[in-house]
Structure 1
């Protein structure tokens, strides 16, 4: 019923460290969202609430650059380029979604929900293609 860690990392194209960073940032962000919604911290902006997710994206980008450089120095050019392309596209789509979500939450009715969710839909299609490619 549940995916194993090996299947999850293969389908998403990320490492265990990246998953750990994302889950830690998600936990901190969810705690901040609850605190803001329960009026414990009503004056905190949405940008500050979702900032752990942006920090996680920055850490994962830094990690991907290090992996790219190490793979390039080891002479593994094609897999390094493919991994970098995949990782940076996932990170870019995730960052875009979070940015648009913050804009929607702060501005109100400026953006439609379909525009905010479009990077997630593209990311799901890419994961679907990758999952079909692996089997």
Structure 2
């Protein structure tokens, strides 16, 4: 039993474009991550910031897309819908960005956070998605 794309879009509050953008960034990140652990490649000597770059670029493009959607919805005189959408998108982007940022800092050895502290933004986001899913049905 798989979720339909309509259910995923409704529960996550993301458009299909945003989902594809995140998936493409995740594939590129996975390839770079695999190459990071191979000592024979040039990527082996790259910093973790370089490995996480596709994910951060995806967040930046997602934020840019959300701003464009907010402006267009505001011009169409649907202010309430625009504010709800931009607040949810900003929360989603901020929580995922915090997780990636903290994880990258931990892997670089720049902070001494536990992994449960690093995953806290994802736990909060999971709770918000659960609340959103219950409200939508």
Please give the TM-score of this superposition, normalised by the length of structure 1.
Answer: 0.97
Post-superposition offset of 1:109 = 6.7
Residue 10 of structure 1 and its aligned partner are, at CA, apart by 0.4
Residue 70 of structure 1 corresponds to: 72
**Residue 105 of structure 2 corresponds to which residue in structure 1?**
103
Equivalent-residue separation in structure 1 for 2:111 and 2:60 (angstroms): 28
**Which contiguous aligned blocks of 4+ residues in structure 1 show a shift greater than 2 angstroms?**
none
SS at match of 1:42: helix
C-alpha contact 2:105 2:111 (8 A) present in aligned 1: no
SS in 1 for 2:45: coil
- For structure 2, the 5+ residue unaligned runs are none
CA RMSD for the aligned pairs? 1.0
Which structure 2 residues correspond to residues 26-41 of structure 1 after superposition, within 5 A?
A: 26-39=26-39, 40=41, 41=43
Matches of 2:23 and 2:87 in 1, distance apart?
22
Q: Which residue of 2 aligns with 1:82?
A: 84
CA distance, structure 2, for counterparts of residue 121 and residue 109 of structure 1: 20
Say if 2:21 is the partner of 1:21. Answer: yes
CA shift, 1:37, in A, is 1.1
Q: Aligned partners of 2:113 and 2:32: how far apart in 1?
A: 23
Q: Post-superposition shift, 1:42?
A: 1.7
> Deviation string for 1:22-45 (max 9, x for gaps)?
000000000000000122222111
Consecutive unaligned residues of structure 1, counting only runs of 5 or more, are none
